[in-house]
Structure 1
């Protein structure tokens, strides 16, 4: 056994155990980070998800004895045997997967056919490279060898060596229509998956469930792996989807939205990517009403609007300037927009965002946000308060315009506004003192 691999196994256990350990670390890390802002949460989460992404792709179906099961005879359909060689891409193909919710969910996959019965799949996610060797028979595809060359030494793998190996696990079987499980993982066929490359209908979906997450892997004939989605217990998903083969990926920054005023579906194009993931429209939970566009103010040439994207655990609002179907993002937030108010002279607009004030502990506390935009310049206005209070750490109870350039708002009267526990204690106290502050701008 390679010495590096022996040391890795000794420290972290075998692949399945490592995967479960990393999932537990991710889940614990997410609980810890909830008390912080969503932006900080995703930054801290990235480190753990990087390891997760590697381990999930390394061997999602590891088991001691590769097995499959079939439904009872009255549930079986007429058998259609797959040509399993078509479940891989062509020799030399380089496939590009674009990820959502974690930078390491984006990776490059290279397919190398070693013979009619063996194929090597190399994956590079920007952090580490993995390689897996498969044996293809008439009945099944078996994983027979896997490693991380940079960490375990770039061992030369020959066909003679592969012939001596006992399968680690079963990837797919030819009789897919009559198969309900592979390695105790659920099999769905046919399934559908919409990806940037195209929409697939006859997809094989293999789902692996653990205590902390459900991992789904999608395969299509002549394309092999086309997507993988990890769904955590709190609804957060890490998604990787096939975007292109043998050409650099080019994701159009477009988004289908429902216009709240006209109740019609529109396709908007972004000038640049700011707090917007172009894979959002391929999310399994994305529907015609997931992204809502609302006009706030309209002039002869442009309009100021809001795009709200509401996906499980992934709510985002974007303040945009729209010219026809082209939009430019000028601000974004993870909180929901509650309402907005125009200044008396109709030159500014104040937008109030909040996740609500029903939190029961410091862990779930989320501050509110109040931003002001100039309606002629279509820019966010730099503001200052009449005392040193960071609005990003405030709970805003009410607000209103005093005059053209002054906004007044009410907050809990606590000693340290940046300390969430004081807001939570104030929320549950019988006596809830408040204070009134003002926002000014030039």
Structure 2
């Protein structure tokens, strides 16, 4: 019974982290009294359209940088350790592949002006996800993943925002100013998630009591490549 609980509940721990992307800069136009060099104006406009600004740019800070591989140390369960691989997609979408050694789960997020929404979630995904822009836009929101601004009492990832300025320890480093999310089930089992700007989700904790025994499962950021 204890093993079944831990395997099922470890799925709840499979849920991502970030650095601001390096955005392209648009060149400064020549003064009007000079003849400008030949410029592909259409291509320049495309660059400007792709560049996020305002809260959308800030939302990128809660995901890993494009191409990043982050490893999380697991304790308390064989599936608690996992690797996240992050890939940026067109039209403000981000794909995150989570590999816990038993399966790979693909999650796709859509970033808007103030919200990051989960729009695709598929377990047992062992290929590279290469959708067209049209296919991405056709994806329907599943749940709210994150929002800005965020404050205590808000609900994201199906969890309550408890605090917005806590300390959290991980093998990678200790963080200040973390955002703590928490969810408690009817049987008292508790799931916590810690988010840090410039890194995203850095730690997950699951606690449950069965009889006189307490079970704690953690996944903590260990390295970034």
Query: What TM-score results when the alignment is normalised by the length of structure 2?
Result: 0.72
Partner of 1:238: 217
* Matches of 1:161 and 1:191, distance apart in 2: 39
| Offset of residue 178 of structure 1 | 6.1
Alignment deviations for residues 307-341 of structure 1 (CA, whole Å, 9 cap, x no partner): xxxxxxxxxxxxxxxxxxxxxxxxxxxxxxxxxxx
Q: Work out whether 1:126 is the aligned partner of 2:101.
A: yes
Contact 2:152 2:164 in 1 (8 A): no
Map 1:132-211 → 2, pairs under 5 A: 132-150=107-125, 157-177=131-151, 180-182=154-156, 185-187=159-161, 188-211=163-186
Partner of 2:203: 227
* Matches of 2:61 and 2:143, distance apart in 1: 19
| Offset of residue 186 of structure 1 | 1.2
* Matches of 2:95 and 2:112, distance apart in 1: 15
* Matches of 2:147 and 2:183, distance apart in 1: 16
Q: Give the direction of change, closer, same or farther, for the CA distance of 1:194–1:107 in structure 2 (3 Å limit).
A: same
| Offset of residue 222 of structure 1 | 1.5
Alignment deviations for residues 187-227 of structure 1 (CA, whole Å, 9 cap, x no partner): 02122211111111111121122123111111111111111
Partner of 1:253: none
Alignment deviations for residues 119-151 of structure 1 (CA, whole Å, 9 cap, x no partner): 011011111110100001121110000001349
Q: Give the direction of change, closer, same or farther, for the CA distance of 1:179–1:198 in structure 2 (3 Å limit).
A: same
Query: What TM-score results when the alignment is normalised by the length of structure 1?
Result: 0.38
Alignment deviations for residues 82-122 of structure 1 (CA, whole Å, 9 cap, x no partner): 81111111111100101111121011110111136110110
Query: Which of 56, 62, 80 is matched with 1:105 structurally?
Result: 80
Gaps spanning 5+ residues in structure 1: where?
Answer: 1-28, 31-44, 60-80, 247-442
Q: Work out whether 1:53 is the aligned partner of 2:10.
A: yes
| Offset of residue 50 of structure 1 | 3.4
What secondary structure, in the 3-state scheme, does the structure 1 residue paired with 2:134 have?
Answer: helix
Gaps spanning 5+ residues in structure 2: where?
Answer: 17-54
Contact 2:70 2:83 in 1 (8 A): yes
RMSD of equivalent CA atoms: 2.5
Partner of 1:85: 60
Q: Give the direction of change, closer, same or farther, for the CA distance of 1:181–1:150 in structure 2 (3 Å limit).
A: closer
Contact 1:135 1:143 in 2 (8 A): yes
* Matches of 2:197 and 2:60, distance apart in 1: 9
Q: Give the direction of change, closer, same or farther, for the CA distance of 1:233–1:217 in structure 2 (3 Å limit).
A: same
* Matches of 2:217 and 2:12, distance apart in 1: 13
Structure 1 or 2: more helix by fraction: 1
Partner of 1:217: 193
Q: Give the direction of change, closer, same or farther, for the CA distance of 1:180–1:116 in structure 2 (3 Å limit).
A: same
Higher relative contact order (CA 8 A, sep 6+): 2
Contact 1:149 1:155 in 2 (8 A): no
Q: Give the direction of change, closer, same or farther, for the CA distance of 1:83–1:58 in structure 2 (3 Å limit).
A: closer
* Matches of 2:152 and 2:9, distance apart in 1: 31
* Matches of 1:136 and 1:170, distance apart in 2: 10
